[in-house]
Amino acid sequence: MRRIITAAVVICALLAGYSTIEAQETNPRRPALPAPADTNNWQVYYDQGTRWLATDPEKAADAFQWAIKLEPTRPEPYFGRRIALLTQNPRRLLRYWRADKSTVRSREIQQIDSLYLQALTLNPFFGHELDRFLLRGIIHEIAESASPGSGVSSGELRMMLDQSINSSPPSLRAWVAYTEGDYGDAERFYEQAIGQARSKREKASLLTDRGRLYFQRGKSDLALADLNQALNEMRKADSKDLIYVYESKALAEQSVGIIQKRLGNTTAAHEAFARSLQEDLSYSPAHVEMAMLALDAKDTVTALSEMDLAVQIKPGDAGLRYLYGFTLSEVGRPAEAQQQLEKAVELDPIYAAPRHALARVLEAQKKPQEALASYRAFLSLAAQNDLRRNEAEARVAALTGAQ
């Protein structure tokens, strides 16, 4: 019985504190999907990966990677792949959640966590519901480890550990409530957890989490207050504290800027993105945000300058190349747009969106045969529900008829 009680206490302590696998693969296995699934649709691979997470995380990781390749601008597949890679190795997952320094700072975990960072930079406010699979993995590993010699089956231990969550610290209960969609309870437990935070870094993390929840629930003013307070706590935190790759003041300032933009405070948004760059001049998402603000203000020169800086920082990002190329095409610079879009195609040959944008800029430059080939390539790669398909089909018919 002592070992059972110890196990229950251990999981609460672990979760309250929060084989080598590469995080990215050049040519991951393309998992088979049940017919008649649309194999050009990122959402289909993402949904299938979610279904596989509990039973086959390795297969789920491949599905999420294909979702990334089909649509590299969505945050959800990056996050899903991180969850899949972490749950593939339960023992390492347990060490990670213990905040074991050698594990957190290991090359493989840094690579895996970079997926989370990428997801957050694409959208700091995406949903984290897949976190529930981490909890399942932790409970399973503790139960399997504690069962031998205890006289209690691992299944019984898992049940006890599940029940122990109801008496766990509020930080854990807030996180569990969020992953289960109990947002009102999550807010209540976050309030308690923030009041009980043992360090500035922990308080900042909890405030950030609650701020994201507020934003998702349409409470932008409360989200802004939490993110600003989180930034204050980050600045006061000990620089020697263990920091994960996805925790940064640059990201927090980007989040503040996005909230200010939603609230219609353009000047304040600009100031937040500028502070993000003061924290880290190489933080490309802030350059992109500055570019979008400049475009809204009809400041084409600044917009293109910021986009160019973002691409220089992340030259291998196909989604960013596409965004830059699309922006160039929209401001009437098709030749330069062509260069960026062709690079996006080179970086990610199955990413459909750059093919469509490329076809349009080729037409603008009076290159009908090249445009026709690009439209056809787009149609072969685009999801069946892609809203650009009708236009592309019409252009193929027109260009074919003009031959």
107 phi, psi to nearest 5 deg: -60, -45
| pLDDT tens digit at each of 403 positions of the chain | 333 333 333 334 444 433 333 334 456 778 888 889 999 999 999 999 999 999 999 999 999 999 999 999 999 999 999 999 999 999 999 888 888 889 988 999 999 999 999 999 999 999 999 999 998 888 887 777 776 777 677 677 677 776 777 778 899 899 999 998 999 999 999 999 999 998 888 999 999 999 999 999 999 999 999 999 999 999 887 666 656 667 789 999 999 999 999 999 999 999 999 999 999 999 999 999 999 999 999 999 999 999 999 999 999 999 999 999 999 999 999 999 999 999 999 999 999 999 999 999 999 999 999 999 999 999 999 999 999 999 999 999 999 987 6
Burial class (CB in 10 A: 0-12, 13-18, 19+), 66: buried
Q: Which of 132, 128, 121, 123 is nearest to 210 (CA)?
A: 128
Q: Token pair of 400, please? A: 């074919």
Q: What pLDDT is stored for residue 141 in this prediction?
A: 78
CATH fold of the domain at 1-20+36-168: 1.25.40
Confirm whether 1-20+36-168 and 248-314 share one CATH topology.
yes
How many Å apart are CA 224 and CA 368, to the nearest integer?
49
- Please name the fold of domain 333-403: 1.25.40
Which CATH code is given to the segment(s) 248-314? 1.25.40.10
pLDDT value at residue 8: 39
Q: Write down the domain spans for the chain.
A: 1-20+36-168, 248-314, 333-403
Model's pTM, two decimal places? 0.89
Q: Rounded CA gap, 1 and 198, in Å?
A: 31
